[in-house]
Structures are given as structure tokens and as C-alpha cells.
Amino acid sequence: MTDLAIDDRARRVAEALDRLGLSSRKDQLAGALSGGWKQRLALAACLLHDPRLLLLDEPTAGVDPKARRDFWDEIHRLAADGITVLVSTHYMDEAERCHELAYIAYGRLLARGTVQQVIESAGLVTWAVAGNRLVEAGHRLREAEGIRTVAPFGATLHVSGDSEEAIRHALDTLDRPDLSAQPIEPSLEDVFIALMQDAQDNFAPVATP
């Protein structure tokens, strides 16, 4: 069995606590910490053995925005120190913080590369649509041929399709002169949803003849 004993344990613990900003809370019970501080404590424990690889499964789930940003700042510092950090997340704004992405669905790799590479490889065309009664417009656009995804983004809809012609035709069929539309770069979320729609669920029931 491999010996996992830590040399100079007290020093390593103090350094890990200091690195994650936990020194002032070293006498506090872990169960009394907030979600963000618990995540920091878990990361500090992972660093005690000077790992070269860290596997973090949704490390910022349930923490506030500031704690999320602080945690990601630390992840980038670890990467700058030469540690490889593999993070799983369902948040596309977090995925944008990574040097390289891999989309996996139902055990299959759908896309891999930098943020820009993943967006470009999807071949998705996206327009932002603004105007009144967007919920109604969204329902009709989802049924149009060549439209892949329709999703609300603030006061607009992100309409993604196979081509500009498909999106133009779909908007024309609405006969809604009050709507305005312009092409935009697809977001990572637009790409992710489109890829997920094309992925085959290997747990779905198989139709029998």
C-alpha cells in the first residue's frame, strides 16, 4: 500500500489555510462554515499532498457569486503553478473561464477545444430578437424548419439555426413588423443546448417494430 503520510504536516496545513484565506477561521468548526468557505476548506485539504492533478466536481455549486469568483481565481493560480485542474460544471459562464473545454453527453464526447474553437466548430448561426410578446414569438419560432434552439436572454431571444436563411424565413413567417433582429455570435450555452439536442440518449427506450 502506498504511504500517504504527509511530512511536516503542521506547516503544510498552515500554508494551505493561508493560501485559501482560511487562517482566521482555523478554530471554527467546519460544519459552521458557509457553503463558499466549505468549498475553500475542501480545496485546501486537496492541496496538502502537493498534487499535480486536481479533479473538481462542480466545486462552486450553491455558493454566492463573489465566492465563485474567488474560487476560480484560486483555480487559475493553481494552473499557473503547473497543476492540471479538471473541473466539471453545468454553468456555461464557468466553462468560459477554462483554458480548454470538453462537452460530454451520455458518455460521448461532443466537442473539445478552446471556447472559440467549440463555438466555431458547432456551425451554429444565432440572431438576437427583440420586441413585444417574445414568449409568443418564441413558441412559433421553435416550430419553424431549420431552427435549432430558441432561448430567452434578458429582454431578447437567442434564435439559433442552421443558416441565416432559415432564421430569416422563420422570422418572415411570423409577420411581426414590431420585432427587430440582428446576428450575434452564439454563446457557449447556445452551442451546448444545440449539441445536447443532437446527442442520442443511450438510456432512452428503443422503439420496437
Report all structural domains of the chain as residue ranges with CATH numbers, in order of start: 9-99 (3.40.50.300), 116-198 (3.30.70.260)
Cell digits for 62? 450553491
Q: Digits of tens for pLDDT over the chain (209 positions)?
A: 344 567 777 888 888 888 877 888 877 887 888 777 888 888 888 888 888 999 999 888 878 888 888 889 989 999 999 999 999 998 888 999 999 999 988 888 989 999 999 999 999 999 999 999 999 999 999 999 999 999 999 899 999 999 999 999 999 999 999 999 999 999 999 999 888 887 777 666 655 55
pLDDT at position 2: 45
pLDDT at position 208: 56
pLDDT at position 191: 92
pLDDT at position 172: 94
pLDDT at position 1: 37
Alpha helices, DSSP H only, in the chain? 9-19, 35-46, 65-80, 92-95, 115-121, 134-142, 164-174, 188-198
* Whether the Cβ atoms of residue 151 and residue 190 lie closer than 8 Å to each other: yes
Cell digits for 39? 468549498
Q: What's the predicted TM-score (pTM) here?
A: 0.75
Rounded Cα–Cα distance for residues 52 and 84 (Å):
6
